[in-house]
């Protein structure tokens, strides 16, 4: 035994003795080292490239001779000639171990390579996609072997790759004879794990597949459908695209869609057809953008809220619109991609994340998968702001979740000058506390409104309205500048000392931009706008508060703002507004589109799918709709900031003036400042 060469693999550190003459690939398999191979050791895929060490390895206690590995053989020489092999690299399937050796497996040769995921906190993710390519050479049929082509392919995959019990859908069975013959029996089988117990043949490709397999990560929202096309070898994003959910014509928000299903015979079916058509369009545009044929898109992951979940699966959502909000099904599902409108590889599956409850969706599950509160030592509050806010609070011990009906105000809807986030919309705003004068930035234009070059730059887009993040900053700034009091009332010009406060009916409005003089519309924050924002932020805060009660804490250790909108909210302004509980502003971070990130993680990793399925079973759902305490918190948090919690963290950062305005009366202390 000890005459056999010792081989040590880095960076894993796995080591063992193997018979002299064993190939590096065989040794890696023997020792459980993660070394990729698609061609099964034929020297054609080059996935098993390694870097042999030489000389003294004191750390490992071995000295590696110059001839520890066999010399370059004909297969390697040919590969090097045709494709080129980097200096110092060897093909693991060809190089044989002759004496003690140290072999480094570079990251790109690891099948389950770890990749860094860019998000608020960079995190490492291990690639473990559900569909993988396997190159095989199938024995041609003859008269003495009456087995079908599929049976011979399956047998080869079992013998050479240990894939037992392969299944195939009819559309793939219909292709295999032609592919096998065209490719002269040398093919790459794309084999998938569809959540069942037997592997499934997703497609069969002639020869050795040279291009990476791709998958779709889809965040299916009520308003927009966003998707990423992801390479399944290393998780990189090849294309990103989005489109309006075509269902929008059946109603702006979720409840209006549920109503449409209730009131119209076949209404749910119409909406199902509509959203599936949208998914199909998204898949096509992503494939076009990345220059990838749809057949190479072999997997998909969908995250969405419960209503979209039911509609895309063809289930009437009416039960989600009334207590007890029972979903038809809540577990993760694997369906045929074609069934939900995705015309990709013929047998591709789509994995739909589990929904947490009838009102907390697979999108929230994706946020949990992305942000992993269950791995946090201290309680973290995650808020995904949208028409419905999903709120998650948890730590290592337990995770709670609820949803809260914030309505569309945070998205700029039901706001007098509101609009969706699009070029021309005011997205950031500051008010000088001394003069009451605003300065702002619009989407698509770099300079602020008081900086040089603004007018020229803004000329192209115009100033068209105010979007969700803009209205939040506006209301918070108005509060900090003493233009709005704690109850949410806008003061008069006399009370606030700025002529931008103009009467409007029996209340006042604050004029941000007067189109008559400068061109463009009049953009103002009205008393109605403030009330709409107060309702929305109270709902959001009350949900978070309910979870904190349940959890038994007064404030979270940190807060994560998720969602495309969450990425644009200023933590300080959210705190001033009382949208979120008190927390040092530097501990409020944005996770970007965490639901979309979660979808990408699930696409790249079967382990992540298992993790979120397990985690969702452990999440405690908290019901807001019928909880009396939710109502209490909702009423109590109407003030700006809310009056429920003290704000020590905020206290050190901003000073909030405390005027008291009466709707029709005088201010207690009119401000004297002028510009």
Residues engaged in binding a second copy (CB under 8 A): 141-144, 146-151, 167-168, 170-171, 173-174, 176-178, 196-198, 313-316, 319, 323-331, 335, 339, 355-358, 360, 621, 623, 626
Place of tokens 């978070």: 544
Dig out the tokens for 306 from the structure.
């419960």
Are 362 and 302 in contact by the 8 Å Cβ rule? The answer is yes
Closest by alpha carbon to 555, among 489, 466, 644, 625?
Answer: 644
Among residues 578, 561, 611, the alpha carbon closest in space to that of 381 is found at 561
To a second copy, the closest distance from the beta carbon of 345 in angstroms equals 17
Nearer to a second copy, 224 or 259 (CB): 259
What is the C-alpha to C-alpha distance for residues 93 and 79, in angstroms, rounded to an integer?
12
Question: What is the distance between the alpha carbons of residues 156 and 10, in angstroms, rounded to a whole number?
Answer: 31
Q: Which is nearer to a second copy, 231 or 345 (CB)?
A: 345
Q: Closest distance between a second copy and the C-beta of residue 333, in Å?
A: 8
Burial class of residue 558 (count of CB atoms within 10 Å of its CB; 0-12, 13-18, 19+): middle
The runs of H, that is alpha helices, within 235-349 are 254-263, 267-290, 306-313
Nearer to a second copy by Cβ, of 58 and 170: the residue is 170
HEC sequence for 529-590 = HHHHHHHHHHHHHHHHHHHHHHHCCCCCCEEEEEHHHHCCCCHHHHHHHCCCCCCCHHHEEE
| Nearest distance in Å: CB 321, a second copy | 12
Closest approach, Cβ 443 to a second copy, in A, equals 38
Q: How far is the CB of 158 from a second copy (least distance, A)?
A: 13
Angle CA(135)–CA(33)–CA(194) in degrees, nearest 5? 50
If the CB atoms of residues 329 and 662 are measured against a second copy, the closer one turns out to be 329
- Between 324 and 652, CB nearer to a second copy: 324
- Contact predicate 599/363, CB 8 Å: no
Question: Starting at the edge strand that comes first in sequence, how are the strands of the sheet with 399-404 ordered?
Answer: 588-592, 558-562, 380-384, 389-394, 399-404, 620-621
**Token couple for 87:** 């200096």
90-91/49-52 β-pairing = antiparallel
- Our CB check for a second copy shows the closer of 136 and 229 to be 136
Judged by beta carbon, residue 10 or residue 403, the one nearer a second copy is: 403
Residue 164 C-beta: closest distance to a second copy, Å? 12
Closer to a second copy at the Cβ: 337 or 458? 337
Structure tokens at 351: 């994995």
Alpha helix locations (H) across 44-192? 74-82, 149-161, 170-182
Instruction: Tell me how far, at minimum, the Cβ of 154 lies from a second copy, in Å.
Output: 9
- Separation CA 357–CA 129 (nearest Å): 27
Please check whether residue 420 is in contact with residue 464, taking contact to mean a CB–CB distance below 8 angstroms: no
Closest distance of CB 138 from a second copy, Å? 11
CB of 130 to a second copy, least distance (A): 17
Q: Based on CB atoms, which residue is closest to a second copy, 3 or 142?
A: 142
The CA angle 10-15-18, to the nearest 5 degrees, is 120
Residue number, 437 or 623, with CB nearest to a second copy? 623
- Least distance to a second copy, CB of residue 140, Å: 8
Judged by CB, which is closer to a second copy: 313, or 524? 313
* Smallest separation (angstroms) from a second copy to the CB of 625: 8
Strand partners, 219: 226, 303
């Amino acid at each position: 035994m000890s005459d056999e060469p010792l081989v040590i693999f880095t960076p894993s550190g796995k080591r063992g003795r193997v018979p002299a003459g064993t190939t590096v690939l065989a040794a890696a398999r023997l020792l459980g080292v993660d070394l990729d191979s698609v061609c099964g050791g034929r020297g054609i895929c080059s996935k098993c490239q390694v870097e042999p060490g030489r000389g003294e390895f004191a750390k490992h206690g071995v000295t590696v001779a110059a001839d520890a590995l066999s010399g370059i053989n004909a297969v390697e020489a040919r590969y090097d000639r045709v494709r080129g092999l980097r200096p110092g690299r060897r093909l693991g399937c060809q190089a044989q171990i002759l004496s003690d050796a140290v072999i480094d497996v570079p990251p790109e040769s690891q099948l389950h390579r770890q990749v860094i995921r860019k998000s608020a906190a960079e995190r490492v993710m291990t690639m473990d996609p559900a569909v993988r390519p396997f190159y095989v050479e199938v024995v041609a049929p003859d008269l003495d072997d009456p087995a079908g082509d599929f049976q011979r392919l399956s047998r080869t995959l079992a013998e050479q790759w240990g894939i037992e019990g392969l299944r195939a859908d009819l559309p793939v069975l219909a292709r295999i004879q032609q592919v096998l013959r065209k490719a002269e029996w040398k093919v790459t089988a794309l084999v998938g794990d569809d959540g069942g117990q037997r592997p499934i043949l997703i497609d069969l490709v002639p020869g050795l597949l040279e291009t990476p397999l791709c998958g779709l990560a889809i965040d299916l929202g009520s308003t927009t459908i966003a998707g990423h096309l992801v390479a399944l070898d290393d998780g990189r994003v090849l294309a990103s695209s989005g489109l309006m959910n075509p269902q929008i014509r059946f109603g702006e928000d979720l409840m209006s869609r549920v109503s449409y299903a209730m009131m119209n015979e076949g209404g749910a079916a119409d909406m199902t057809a509509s959203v599936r058509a949208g998914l199909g369009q998204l898949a096509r545009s992503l494939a076009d953008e990345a220059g990838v044929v749809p057949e190479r898109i072999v997997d998909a992951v969908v995250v969405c809220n419960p209503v979209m979940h039911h509609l895309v699966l063809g289930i009437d959502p009416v039960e989600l619109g009334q207590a007890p909000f029972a979903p038809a099904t809540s577990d993760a599902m694997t369906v045929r991609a074609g069934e939900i409108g995705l015309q990709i590889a013929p047998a591709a599956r789509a994995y739909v994340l589990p929904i947490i409850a009838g009102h907390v969706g697979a999108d929230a599950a994706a946020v949990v998968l992305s942000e992993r509160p269950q791995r946090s030592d201290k309680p973290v509050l995650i808020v995904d702001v949208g028409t419905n806010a999903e709120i998650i609070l948890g730590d290592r011990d337990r995770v709670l979740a609820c949803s809260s009906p914030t309505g569309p105000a945070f998205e700029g809807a039901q706001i007098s000058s509101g609009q969706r986030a699009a070029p021309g919309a005011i997205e950031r705003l500051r008010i000088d506390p001394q003069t009451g004068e605003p300065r702002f930035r619009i989407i698509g234009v770099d300079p602020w409104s008081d900086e040089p070059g603004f007018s020229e730059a803004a000329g192209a887009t115009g100033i068209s309205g105010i979007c969700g993040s803009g209205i939040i900053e506006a209301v918070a700034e108005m509060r900090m500048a003493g233009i709005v009091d704690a109850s949410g009332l806008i003061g008069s010009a006399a009370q606030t000392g700025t002529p931008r406060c103009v009467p409007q009916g029996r209340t006042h409005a604050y004029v941000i931009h007067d189109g008559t003089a400068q061109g463009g519309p009049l953009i103002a924050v009205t008393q109605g706008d403030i009330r709409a924002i107060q309702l929305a932020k109270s709902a959001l805060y009350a949900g978070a508060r309910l979870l904190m009660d349940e959890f038994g804490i007064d404030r979270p250790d940190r807060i994560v703002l998720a969602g495309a909108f969450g990425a644009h909210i200023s933590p300080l302004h959210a705190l001033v507004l009382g949208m979120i509980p008190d927390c040092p502003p530097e501990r409020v971070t944005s996770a970007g589109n965490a639901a979309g990130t979660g979808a990408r993680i699930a696409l790249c990793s079967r382990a992540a799918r298992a993790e979120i399925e397990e985690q969702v079973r452990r999440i405690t759902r908290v019901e807001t709709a019928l909880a009396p305490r939710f109502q209490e918190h909702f009423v109590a948090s109407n003030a700006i900031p809310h009056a429920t919690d003290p704000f020590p963290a905020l206290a050190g950062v901003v000073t909030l003036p405390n005027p008291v305005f009466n709707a029709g009366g005088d201010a207690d202390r009119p401000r004297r400042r002028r510009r």
